[in-house]
Chain A
Amino acid sequence: MSILEVENIGIAFGGLRALDRVGFEVAEGEIFAVIGPNGAGKTTLFNIVSGLYRPGEGRVRLLGQDVTGIEPHLLAEKGLSRTFQNLQLFGRMTALENVMVGRHLRESRGILRHLFLRRAVEHEERESRARARDLLAFVGLDRLADQPANALPYGAAKRLEIARALASEPRILLLDEPAAGCNPAETGEIEALIREIARRGVTVVLVEHDMRLVMRLSHRIHVLNHGRTLAEGAPAEIRLNPAVIEAYLGHHGAKEAARAVA
């Protein structure tokens, strides 16, 4: 069954058509990649799927339910989570607190309870902290738990975003360029992390520029160019698709992609 269906999405900013009739389906448990040159509309697509933008045309369905244009926090409740290409950490909060915010939906939300029933809240806080620590350990940040997020090195910040996104216990996770700006060692860690997340049953949709990573990791790839769908298929097909090579991979990219499989 498809967990996410994107149907005929279109959006324009001013006179610019950022996306035009884009559609795809993501199956549960899949690692699905969206690639394309800069400005192809990948992040815009993510912003629509995660509820930050309302599309001009088209529908988004999550687990068969129409969720087009609904608020991000309601999408989170339905099991969708995401990370951001330009990190959106809570800079003045510690790494641990960042992950605890990710658990917001799993925590009690009565404000009067928070004001007046300290003993009960205390108990929940302990549990929340423990779960957040587990997640930090999962992404390899347990030793940086008490650091403010804005003091973390770039690679750690990237992984913290993932830990926070996982804290809401999503069924589908959108990763916006998880390896951007990472060195090869960090990229390797991110790759292992994504595999492990998928292995635990979370569907992963990622936007990524690192072709080798995408080719190794994804089950299927959707290629955008100038806001339109150029191709979709398994890595092996995409790599050999002439239109994709022409528009995006170029000779250098094609070589890199080939080397990834070799």
Chain B
Amino acid sequence: MPALLRRYGVLLLLLVLVASLPLALPSNYHVRIATLVWISALVVMGLNLLMGYAGQVSLGHAGFFGIGAYAVAILPAHLGVPPLLAFLLGVAAAGLLAFVVGRPILRLKGYYLAVATLGFGILVAMVLQNEMVWTGGPDGMTVPRLELMGVRLRSPMTWYWISGGTLLLGMLLAIHLIESPTGRALRAIHDSEIAARVAGIDAPQAKLAAFVISAVYAAVGGGLLAWVNGLVTPDMAGFLHSIELVAMAVLGGLGSLLGSVLGAAVLVLLPQLLTLFHEYEQLVLGLVMMLAMIFLRAGIVPSIAARLGWRAA
């Protein structure tokens, strides 16, 4: 039982949070913000599998996010694909693209990998921006509402539950992956790639798997956000969004699933809270991030856990 609790404790915590939070949310605006947190958390969790566990950076994950988002916009509008199928196709396309692109890119390490993934993200954003006929260009395009069994999903609360549920599912799968031979292989590669290879781990393939899985998480998040907003724009796939995702992962704590949720929450909520500071909003946001990293250098969750003497969740 303690072993089960140690493994699924984080999931349980998040379940309670997702289930009880609506009671404390006074308006649709707040429900929407919470939904954004869950979606970001899902994407960051995927990125964390790549960065925090496999130890491979990506500055282009918004590209996969954008592909997931535009799939639910483009495919139904231009090709008459049912929305749910469009979503699945978008996720599959992102995974496939990650598989194809990842093979050559993941041979690179450190800064070189960072720049290559950066280039990939910019490429996707450019395509979305320039293929006016398909994507609506810089203005983006509206997303047809999702209908499930004849019911139009439009209320913010519905999307809150869908996003929260997907996040919980994403976390469950992430926990399973981490606590499996694959997860151990990824952590091993992170600590000593040479020793991992000698131990029989096909390092390029393991990294590629982490890359594809994280791309799938990003595309799922992109599809969800497109539905929630009813609108897609190229900046969803943009460079700044990629950086934001990395910032969330690092701020919350690499190698901590709870950290991913917290990192996403902080960077979604802070700008909302900081509107109090008006024109100084960005300044304060930057300052908060810098101070957080200086004083909690392993990220929020691992640093605090270490100080309290817990094993990182």
Contact = CB atoms under 8 A, between A and B. Distances in A.
Interface of A: 50-52, 71-73, 75-77, 81-82, 84, 88-93, 97, 100-102, 104-105, 107-109, 111, 114-116, 118, 121, 124-125, 128, 164-165, 167-168
A76 B195 contact: no
Contact of B176 (A72, A88, A105, A115): A115
B199 interface: yes
Interface in B187-202: 187-188, 190-192, 194-202
Contacts of B194: 52, 72, 84, 88
Contact of B184 (A81, A97, A116): A97
Nearest to A76: B200
13 contacts: A73-B202, A81-B198, A81-B199, A84-B195, A97-B184, A101-B188, A101-B196, A104-B199, A111-B209, A114-B176, A114-B177, A115-B177, A168-B200
Chief secondary structure at chain B's binding surface: helix
B124 interface: no
Contact of A93 (B173, B176, B187, B203): B187
Given A91-B191, A93-B191, A101 B184 contact: yes
Interface string B101-137: 0000000000000000000000000000000000000
A82 B197 CA distance: 11
A131 B54 CA distance: 25
B139 interface: no
The CB with the most chain B CB atoms within 10 A, among A73, A77, A88, A100, is that of A73
A90 B176 contact: no
Nearest to B173: A115
Contacts of B179: 125
Interface in B155-214: 173, 176-177, 179-185, 187-188, 190-192, 194-203, 209, 213
Given A111-B182, A114-B177, A90 B198 contact: no
B200 A125 contact: no
Nearest to A115: B173
A102 B185 CA distance: 10
B185 A72 contact: no
B188 A93 contact: yes
Given A100-B184, A121-B180, A92 B191 contact: yes
Nearest to B175: A118
Interface centre among A97, A107, A109 (most CB of B within 10 A): A109
Contact of A101 (B173, B176, B199): B199
Contacts of A71: 197, 202
A121 B183 CA distance: 12
A186 B203 CA distance: 33
A85 to B, nearest CB: 12
A52 B191 CA distance: 17
Contacts of B200: 73, 76-77, 104-105, 168
Given A81-B198, A89-B191, A90-B192, A73 B180 contact: no
Contacts of A167: 199
A76 B191 contact: no
A73 B182 contact: no
Nearest to A92: B191
Contact of B198 (A76, A97, A100, A118): A76
Given A88-B194, A93-B191, 10 more contacts: A90-B196, A93-B187, A100-B181, A104-B185, A104-B201, A109-B182, A114-B183, A125-B179, A125-B180, A164-B199
Contacts of A125: 179-180
A124 B176 CA distance: 13
Determine which residue in A75, A104, A168 has the highest number of CB atoms from chain B within 10 A of its CB, and name it. A104
Contact of A90 (B173, B183, B191): B191
Interface in B18-62: none
Contact of B199 (A102, A109, A114): A102
Nearest to B198: A72
A102 B80 CA distance: 51
B65 to A, nearest CB: 21
A253 B185 CA distance: 43
Contacts of B173: 115-116
Q: Which of B176, B180, B196, B200 has the most CB of A within 10 A?
A: B200
Nearest to B180: A114
